[in-house]
């Protein structure tokens, strides 16, 4: 197995679990599944370096970084596309209750209702959430990649029998 194929499987698992939760009637706020995504991105970036060194222990730090970044990018892109699709067609009203509470708060502060609704709905929607998810997962994956590439390169390589 490679890091890319594992990442693809993890993304499919995340999508399947999210869809199963939705269709089983579990109501989740858009941000409730974030910890699962962070766990999956950690696993994907860790094992991308692990699989790379298992195939060829002479691979360097840069190649470990590239493998981790590829996994992070794939996971972030697949989940961003799914997130946009999900909140566009499957659950288009997911942000409505949250947006309505924000609009009521702005109205209570004296802002005009139409302007508050326009600004809130322009900010909290499926497209913006999918873009934020993409960059958030990519940044989390990039941070994990740097840390895990250092661990694989400087520490775990010694246990593999290749001293670099």
Each residue of 123-144: pLDDT tens digit?
A: 888 899 999 999 999 999 999 9
pLDDT computed for residue 94 by the predictor: 84
Using 50, 70 and 90 to split pLDDT, how confident is the model at 160? low
- Supply the mean pLDDT for the chain: 92
- The percentage of the chain sitting over the pLDDT mark of 90, rounded to a whole number, equals 71
Q: Rounded to 5 degrees, what angle do the CA atoms 14, 92, 7 make?
A: 15
The domain spans of the chain are 3-90+133-159
Ranking 15-19, 29-33, 35-39 by mean pLDDT, the lowest is 29-33
The two counts, helices (H) then strands (E), for the chain are 7, 0
pLDDT tens digit string along 68-116?
999 999 999 999 999 999 999 999 888 887 888 889 999 999 999 999 9
| Helix, strand, coil fractions of the chain, as percent rounded to 5 | 80, 0, 20
Tokens read off for 146: 């740097």
């Amino acid at each position: 197995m490679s890091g890319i194929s594992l990442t693809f499987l993890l993304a499919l698992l995340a999508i399947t679990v999210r869809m199963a939760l939705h269709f089983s009637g579990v109501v989740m706020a858009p941000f409730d599944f974030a910890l699962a995504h962070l766990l999956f991105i950690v696993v994907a970036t860790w094992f991308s370096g692990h699989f790379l060194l298992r195939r060829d222990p002479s691979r360097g730090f840069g190649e470990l970084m590239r493998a981790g970044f590829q996994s992070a990018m794939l996971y972030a892109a697949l989940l961003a596309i799914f997130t946009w699709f999900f909140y566009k067609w499957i659950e288009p009203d997911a942000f409505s209750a949250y947006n309505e509470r924000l609009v009521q708060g702005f109205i209570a502060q004296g802002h005009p209702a139409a302007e508050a609704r326009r600004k809130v709905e322009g900010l909290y929607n499926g497209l913006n959430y999918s873009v934020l998810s993409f960059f958030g997962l990519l940044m989390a994956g990039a941070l994990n990649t740097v840390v895990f590439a250092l661990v694989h390169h400087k520490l775990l390589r010694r246990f593999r029998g290749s001293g670099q």
